[in-house]
Amino acid sequence: MTTTAQPDRRERRKRETRDRILTSAVDLIVERGYEATTYDLIAERADLGRQTVFNHFPRKEDFVAAWVQARRDRLDALAADPASPDLPPLLRLAELFESMADFDDRERAVARALYAAKVLVRGFLPGAPPPPALVTLLTLARDAGELAPGLDVAAATEMLFDSYVGTLQRWLEGPDDGFSLPQRLRAKADLAVRGFAATP
């Protein structure tokens, strides 16, 4: 029992330290900008040694990758355990798009700081792989017979993610003029669900 508890405790402390470092780095990036955020500043903010920060994040780009991955993990968790499990998969897809927008809305300052520094390439700009959550829901929709026969799920997933990325990019570059990302993405998800063709 003691042997099992020790590794678990060590692993938990390691995760807590990593989360603390990432939170400190993200806060500093918002306050000072990506370029001005140094390892020394991050270590001071996290109240840890500089080498400890390096051990968890050997390259500065690793902070960006970890922030992006945390968002993807939340989306995957939502796809696996949705707020409305009884909805058909395609309607859950629209719900997921809205959740993605809510995440972005809450963390707009971080996303803008990373985008302005041109380091938001990994995970968001065109060519990045779609989140597994989108693949999961479209696969479920196909298996439930909700998709058109023969529809290429991989191509559909890429199209949806590219639409999300393009909308996100316009939102990050534009002024705060009432552009509602959740509303815009929900509308696009609804379009994907209904399609462009008129119902016969």
pLDDT recorded at residue 48: 96
Domain identity same for 47 and 84 = no
Whether 200 maps to a domain, the answer reads no
Domain identity same for 161 and 189 = yes
Q: CATH code at 14?
A: 1.10.10.60
* pLDDT > 60? residue 199: no
What's 180's DSSP letter? -
Whether 199 maps to a domain, the answer reads no
Domain identity same for 95 and 33 = no
Domain identity same for 118 and 30 = no
* pLDDT > 60? residue 99: yes
In the chain, the number of structural domains is 2
Domain identity same for 52 and 78 = no
Count the neighbouring beta carbons within 10 Å of the beta carbon of residue 10. Answer: 10
Residues belonging to the chain: 200
Domain identity same for 90 and 184 = yes
Domain identity same for 66 and 150 = yes
Which residue's entry shows tokens 């603390």? Answer: 20
pLDDT recorded at residue 107: 85
Is the separation of the CB atoms in 108 and 153 below 8 Å?
A: no
**For 38, left (φ over 0), alpha (ψ -120 to 50), or beta?**
beta
Q: How far apart are CA 120 and CA 107, in angstroms?
A: 13
Domain identity same for 73 and 170 = yes
Domain identity same for 78 and 34 = no
pLDDT in tens, 147-174: 888 888 888 888 888 888 888 888 888 7
Q: How far apart are CA 71 and CA 55, in angstroms?
A: 22
Whether 152 maps to a domain, the answer reads yes
Indicate whether this model's pTM tops 0.75: yes
Alpha carbon of residue 63 to chain centroid: 14
pLDDT recorded at residue 37: 95
Domain identity same for 87 and 182 = yes
| Domain finish residue from 32, 58, 84 | 58
Residue-number span of the structural domain to which 40 is assigned: 1-58
Token pair recorded at residue 150: 């023969």
Q: CATH code at 96?
A: 1.10.357.10
How sure is the predictor about 59, in pLDDT bands with cuts at 50, 70 and 90?
A: very high
- The alpha helices in the chain, defined as continuous H runs, are 2-32, 39-46, 50-56, 61-80, 89-106, 108-116, 121-124, 132-143, 153-173, 181-194
Domain identity same for 114 and 177 = yes
pLDDT in tens, 110-138: 888 888 888 876 555 555 678 888 888 88
